[in-house]
Structure 1
Amino acid sequence: MRLLTIVLVVIAALNIVVAAPSNEAATTELPEEDHCDHKLTKSNKYLDYPFWKKFFKHLVPFTSSSRSKMQFFLFKRDFPDCGRELFANDDETLARSGFDARHPTRIIIHGWMSQGKGSLNRDVKTAYLSLTKPRPNDTDDAISEPKMMAPLYEDFNIIVCDWSKISSNVNYFGVAEMVEDLGYLLAEFVRYLHMRADLRFDDVYLIGHSLGAQIAGSAGKQIRPHRFNTIFALDPAGPAFREQSDEYRIDASDAHYVESIHTSIGLGFEQPVGHSSFYPNFGKDQKKCYVYGCSHKRAHDYFAESINSTKGFWGIRCERLSKKTWVLLDNDGEYRMGGEPSDPKNGTFYVKTYDKKPYAMGTIKAQAEASAQPERVTEVYH
């Protein structure tokens, strides 16, 4: 009897979650000038309500719908936190959105079980848009007030690709089977922007984490004969893809330049998959990562920081003879990981990082110079 009562309580709670009105839906009634399709800021709330509503829909029979598998939200310098939704084949919405093909386009694709307002979307979006703001001149005298320099970029088209209606399904392998379909939707959306907004494919970078990286690779295959400029594959998903041929997983042929960042061996893909593959801390068990999935997430933490880091992440060429045997070729120079714009190179690289933010250590030469400087002492006069 007690078990039956618990089951009834759980079912009632799930029905409340499914039936409750969505905060996202409520915003559609706002006036156009105050309209916000997708607010993307860090929340004090522990849970993302819209995400968990989608999650529970997959658990309750007959409530899950694939009507809209993928949504696209545009962010720009003038509206950095409030995304405007774009739809393929909707010219009127596109004309009002503020999308400008003269600006570089960066498309962010989250992974499995990622929340729509997750840290990948927030951090990468914010890092890119920070490049559109004035910046201090680091060469000025530290004592005087630094002079501000012009922004590095006029603006970006930052598009967050939200496929959480599918990714919230706890059945990972079922979701992985939909990568081709999702890649098709993304490719068709970009093709629409090319046809109706004069978007140049060579101005487009795809930034995908985990399954999002595999979706990026699929979109790259399906956009042919056109080619994206760059795909950044952030710890691309390994399960269900390790035994696949290049035709069914991300590969160097999916864009003019493909760069992968490998940070875990359980959830990620161990083998090099792009023109260049970076292995921070040998690609496994990132520093001070004690929770399952932390090392996997660290890939997009590193990438977001690389976009506007003054030090940058620099790797040295290496050879992976086995999982435990690496040969570091430190006489072959240093190569930048991530960053904006992308910096094409070829090979496999080892990167060392700090164990907390900021993670970037800069070049080996910069590290040596910093360690050689005498410790600064602050004198206090009474």
Structure 2
Amino acid sequence: MIALKVCILAALSLSLALAAPPADNNESFDDIGPTESPNAPHCHKLTKSNKYMDTGFWKKFFKHWIPFTSSARVKMQFYLFKRDFPDCGRELFPGDDATLERSGFDARHPTRIIIHGWMSQGKGSLNRDVKSAYLSLTKPKEQLNQDSNEVNVVELPHYEDFNIIVCDWSKISSNVNYFGVADMVEHLGTLLAEFVNHLHMRANLQYDDVYLIGHSLGAQIAGSAGKQIRPYRFNTIYALDPAGPKFREQSDEYRIDASDARYVESIQTSTGLGFEQPVGHATFYPNFGRDQKKCYMYGCSHKRAHDYFAETINSTRGFWGIRCERMSKHNWILLDNDGEFRMGGEPSNPKNGTFYVKTYDKPPYAMGPRERLTEPPAMEPERTTEVYH
């Protein structure tokens, strides 16, 4: 799928890629909004019907292809998944109190909102993997007894339940004109902020119980929503390789930064599509934040950010970072005496600084903590390691 998308994108002329999409006579930013509530509940599944050809995505893609615009009304949709219906999302509609009441949304449970990126969609691997990782924490861990062939519970669930909400904005993200899509981030952030406000007003959702998990342009949308939800604050934003093109030179007012939530943590895995400079309170650089191990296809390192994050949620090993200083693009100083800091995870664990993380080259990627002294000798001088890569 990724290879096919890349081949199509590579075939575009530069002028086409940079052109802004013309507005439809009957379509404006004011038209962006949720779909109308259906009369009957609809089951939204994240599983793909075909491994190699996702028909739904390509229908949306080619609506933007010729004449490079879509007559369809742009939509942002929200699907709720919980322990009792982990594979059958229920659509939520801002302003529709009856549907919300029937949905099973429960403000007593933590709310996690997942936002995909450009050229991705609601059924993408980000949503499938992160949703499943969170809901795995609501189930007991079981182990087969080899002697009796009985299944025994070895660990009780960590959480009673979650409200996992998948934000599907593929009506826009499927547009091949990246820069035209990037221009809509603020409007998409408005829709997301209005949706969360609806849950607050109608279902007693507390903003401090909300995490936003955004990948690529989804991270920029999360930041925009954080700015627009003020004076309230989200608890945490996880920015997974936030989109760099068009945003690197922007001021904090127009891209994700530490002020967008009580705690903002970024996992940066590529420099071509992401950021080199730190973003948020804590920035983790797996494998120095550049080309990830055994990533040979364009976009692979960018995608690896959400692969790592999904694993952080329920990994027994965990991803552990060493505080570091980036002296230049290829010269890093690792501050060995500062201990190690866990990347990602549930719940979030606020920290400040930049951190280097080493991973394996295939799943499971987490290496766990290094062997180290639990209490370093008093007055020991700072130990540093200078690394060139």
TM-score normalised to the size of structure 1?
Answer: 0.84
2:171 counterpart letter in structure 1: K
Query: Separation in 1 of the partners of 2:356 and 2:197?
Result: 36
1:44, distance to aligned residue in structure 2 (A): 4.1
Query: Separation in 2 of the partners of 1:214 and 1:235?
Result: 10
Query: Separation in 2 of the partners of 1:319 and 1:228?
Result: 28
> Partner of 1:282 in structure 2?
288
Give 1:222-301 correspondences, 5 Å limit: 222-301=228-307
2:172 corresponds to 1:201: no
Question: Structure 1, unaligned stretches of length 5 or more?
Answer: 1-24, 367-382
2:187 counterpart letter in structure 1: D
1:47, distance to aligned residue in structure 2 (A): 1.9
> Partner of 2:378 in structure 1?
none
1:42, distance to aligned residue in structure 2 (A): 5.0
Larger Rg over CA atoms:
1
2:319 corresponds to 1:313: yes
1:41, distance to aligned residue in structure 2 (A): 2.3
Query: Separation in 2 of the partners of 1:200 and 1:226?
Result: 10
Query: Separation in 1 of the partners of 2:323 and 2:97?
Result: 47
Query: Separation in 2 of the partners of 1:166 and 1:73?
Result: 17
* 2:120 maps to which of 114, 122, 127: 114
Query: Separation in 1 of the partners of 2:250 and 2:175?
Result: 22
CA RMSD of aligned residues (A): 2.0
2:103 corresponds to 1:92: no
Contact 2:74/2:172 (CA < 8 Å) preserved in 1? no
1:272, distance to aligned residue in structure 2 (A): 0.6
1:63, distance to aligned residue in structure 2 (A): 6.8
Deviations 1:22-73 (A, max 9, x none): xxx9xx79x64xx31x211254431221111111111234971463431100
1:115, distance to aligned residue in structure 2 (A): 2.7
Deviations 1:346-378 (A, max 9, x none): 000000000000000000028xxxxxxxxxxxx
> Partner of 1:333 in structure 2?
339
Contact 1:48/1:117 (CA < 8 Å) preserved in 2? no
Local SS of the residue matching 2:64: helix
Contact 2:121/2:169 (CA < 8 Å) preserved in 1? no
Contact 2:200/2:207 (CA < 8 Å) preserved in 1? yes
2:200 corresponds to 1:221: no
2:127 counterpart letter in structure 1: N
Q: Percent identity?
A: 81
Contact 1:320/1:326 (CA < 8 Å) preserved in 2? yes
Question: Structure 2, unaligned stretches of length 5 or more?
Answer: 1-34, 373-389
> Partner of 2:357 in structure 1?
351
Local SS of the residue matching 1:300: helix
Local SS of the residue matching 1:258: strand
Query: Separation in 2 of the partners of 1:47 and 1:207?
Result: 26
Give 1:1-382 correspondences, 5 Å limit: 32=41, 35-36=42-43, 38-61=44-67, 64-65=70-71, 67-136=73-142, 147-365=153-371
Query: Separation in 2 of the partners of 1:87 and 1:75?
Result: 14
Contact 1:42/1:122 (CA < 8 Å) preserved in 2? no
Contact 1:48/1:115 (CA < 8 Å) preserved in 2? no
Contact 1:115/1:164 (CA < 8 Å) preserved in 2? yes
Length, aligned pairs only? 334
Query: Separation in 2 of the partners of 1:141 and 1:274?
Result: 46
Closer/same/farther in 2, CA of residues 135 and 56 from structure 1, 3 Å limit: same
Query: Separation in 1 of the partners of 2:72 and 2:320?
Result: 42
